[in-house]
Amino acid sequence: MQTPFEILGVPDNTTDEKIKKAYLQKIRQYPPEQNPEQFQIVRTAFEAIKTQPQRLKYQLFHSEVPSIDTLAEHILQAGTPHHLTKEIFTKTLLDSFHKS
């Protein structure tokens, strides 16, 4: 099954603007009058990831959860300073989801 990112043809770390642009391009390619099923697939994908909070929610709840070993490896590879901040941990966690 394709992810919303694959359906819209955008990377999972893209911006709201690029997602909207990809969505509009797909809608022109699959207008609802000519291809209602594909239109609905594209629309659903867009609604799932159209904003940064929605993308984060999708990535957290619809991605395979990385193992603790994978998380630790990504943290060590990131050259994390001795003081692990919430921002660094969150970024490392999200990066590990993208690579899983």
73-99 pLDDT tens trace: 766 665 545 555 667 667 766 776 665
- Specify the CATH number for 4-61; select among 3.90.1640.20, 3.40.630.10, 1.10.287.110, 1.10.3720.10: 1.10.287.110
Residue 1 in this model has a pLDDT that exceeds 90 = no
19, 47, 95, 96 from 16: Cα distances, Å: 5, 11, 18, 21
Which 3 state secondary structure label does DSSP give 17? helix
Residue 49 pLDDT: 95
| Between residues 67 and 49, the one the model is more confident about | 49
| Between residues 64 and 55, the one the model is more confident about | 55
5-61 pLDDT tens trace: 999 999 988 999 999 999 999 999 999 999 999 999 999 999 999 999 999 888 888
